């Protein structure tokens, strides 16, 4: 059978290889420490769970408008106004099945075949695939060790086909947070070039140093050109509920809403009701989660720095650390050379039952990603094992 060449060209996630191996080892009874987690290890707040129960009992079990419940759109608009001074009408908001779906809608609405989308490296591994799914062409911008793309680098990557730029601050996988000034400079280039900024702000509440600046808040024109993407997965520990949203110009929102109405109809009705409570109810669980992540972040980075050959840039946000493994690439494990992040991750898992995500998946083969959405006890145990592994390598 001849399947769609476009669909066949979508790469399966590199991370799955390690994750599947780790799972198999656990099933075989091994004590695996997993640094792969892409979700908070906290429970959804109780008030949100109660709101879902109330919604069920009240019979909110039917279709909602495809682009979301008006009350949820209003809650999103209120949040963006309160936090960033951004004024959106409910009609500018589209509620989707997670931020990943929102991003999918954004590229579907924007791209014609051959349109280029600029992606700073390292990137969240889903971005290039989403661009390709909508017939776009990913254009990578290599950043330096700060992991931040400068306005000059953006300008140099522009061509006549550039349609959009993806910004992700705080970022997955680096935890990088762009400053206001950096964003102002990037916004100026985007406005001058007339390109759209797809701004993935899913980690906006998980910041430990500095502040989150929403690029859309930097001026009327950049707001018009930005598709702001966010969701409830990370901030409210609601990954399984699948609620994401966009805020954009009305014109783009309409196209995304129409696209979604045929592809998926609405996001789950109960989850939407719960999301209203998450956004408008007590917010104290965010600070509790943030404090715990901050403590683990410092602990993890401190432990990495103690291992000769390893280092990291202390991240300012999200819950990931990119661990620099340049110092061990080329060394051997049982006579086999470590040629890159995939070798490192596989050998570490086999020898020390510790799972990390190879940086190759994010376009950064000199690094591996460690998530600190795991207990302090496991962070300690995992870093002890990583240290033993690195010390056992031969030149
Ligand atoms: N954007 C980034 C940078 C992410 O790391 C993730 C999840 O890992 C998402 C978007 C998608 O989140 P969700 O679809 O759960 O809302």
- For 189-202, the pLDDT digits (tens) are 999 999 999 999 99
Q: What is the pLDDT of residue 3?
A: 93
98 lines ligand 1 (CB under 6 A): yes
38 Cα–ligand 1 center, Å: 8
Q: Is the pTM of this model over 0.85?
A: yes
Report how far residue 70's alpha carbon sits from residue 257's, in angstroms, rounded to the nearest whole number. 13
Q: Name the residue at shortest CA distance from atom 5 of ligand 1.
A: 172
Closest residue to atom 12 of ligand 1, CA basis:
99
pLDDT at 22: 81
What's the gap in Å between 202 CA and the centre of ligand 1? 6
Q: Is the CB of 36 under 6 A from ligand 1?
A: no
Cβ–ligand 1 contact at 173 (below 6 Å): no
User: Ligand 1 in contact with 244 (CB < 6 A)?
Assistant: yes
pLDDT of residue 254: 98
Q: Is 40 in the pocket of ligand 1 (CB under 6 A)?
A: no
**99 CB under 6 A from ligand 1?**
yes
User: In the prediction, which pLDDT does 344 show?
Assistant: 96
Alpha-carbon distance values, 107 to 23, 101, 155 (Å):
33, 10, 21
CA of 395 to the centre of ligand 1 (A): 39
Does the CB atom of residue 201 touch ligand 1 within 6 A? no
How many Å lie between the centroid of ligand 1 and the Cα of residue 134? 18
Q: Is the CB of 100 under 6 A from ligand 1?
A: yes
- Which residue ranges in the chain fall short of pLDDT 70? none
Q: Can you tell me which atom of ligand 1 is nearest the CA of 38?
A: 8
Pairing mode of beta strands 93-96, 137-142: unpaired
Cβ–ligand 1 contact at 345 (below 6 Å): no
């Amino acid at each position: 059978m001849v399947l769609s060449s476009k669909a066949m060209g979508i790469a399966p996630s590199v991370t799955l290889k390690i994750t599947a191996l780790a799972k198999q080892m656990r099933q075989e009874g091994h004590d695996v420490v997993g640094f792969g987690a892409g979700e908070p290890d906290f429970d959804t707040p109780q008030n949100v769970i109660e709101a879902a129960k109330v919604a069920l009992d009240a019979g909110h079990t039917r279709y909602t408008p495809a682009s979301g419940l008006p009350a949820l759109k209003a809650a999103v608009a209120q949040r963006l106004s309160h936090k960033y001074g951004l004024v959106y009408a409910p009609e500018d908001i589209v509620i989707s099945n997670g931020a990943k779906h929102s991003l999918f809608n954004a590229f579907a609405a924007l791209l014609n075949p051959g349109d280029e989308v600029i992606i700073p490296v390292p990137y969240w591994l889903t971005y290039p695939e989403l661009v390709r799914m909508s017939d776009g062409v990913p254009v990578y911008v290599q950043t330096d060790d700060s992991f931040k793309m400068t306005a000059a680098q953006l300008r140099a990557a522009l061509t006549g086909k550039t349609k959009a730029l993806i910004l992700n601050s705080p970022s997955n996988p680096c935890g990088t947070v762009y400053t206001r000034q950096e964003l102002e400079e990037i916004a100026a280039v985007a406005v001058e070039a007339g390109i759209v900024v797809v701004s993935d702000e899913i980690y906006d509440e998980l910041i430990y140093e500095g502040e989150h600046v929403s690029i859309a808040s930097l001026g009327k024109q950049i707001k018009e050109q930005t598709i702001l993407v966010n969701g409830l997965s990370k901030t409210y520990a609601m990954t399984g509920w699948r609620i994401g949203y966009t805020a954009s110009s009305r014109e783009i929102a309409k196209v995304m809403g129409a696209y979604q109405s045929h592809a998926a109809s609405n996001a789950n009705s109960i989850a939407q009701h719960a999301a209203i409570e998450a956004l408008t109810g007590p917010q104290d669980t965010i600070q509790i989660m943030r404090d715990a992540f901050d403590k683990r972040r410092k602990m993890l980075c401190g432990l990495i720095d103690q291992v000769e050959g390893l280092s990291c840039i202390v991240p300012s946000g999200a819950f990931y650390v990119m661990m620099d493994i340049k110092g061990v690439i080329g060394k051997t494990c049982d006579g086999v050379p470590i040629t890159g992040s995939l070798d490192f991750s596989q050998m570490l898992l086999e020898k020390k039952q510790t799972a990390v995500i190879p940086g190759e998946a994010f376009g950064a083969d000199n690094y591996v990603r460690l998530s600190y959405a795991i207990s302090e006890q496991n962070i300690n145990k995992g870093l002890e094992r990583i240290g033993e592994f690195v010390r056992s390598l031969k030149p």
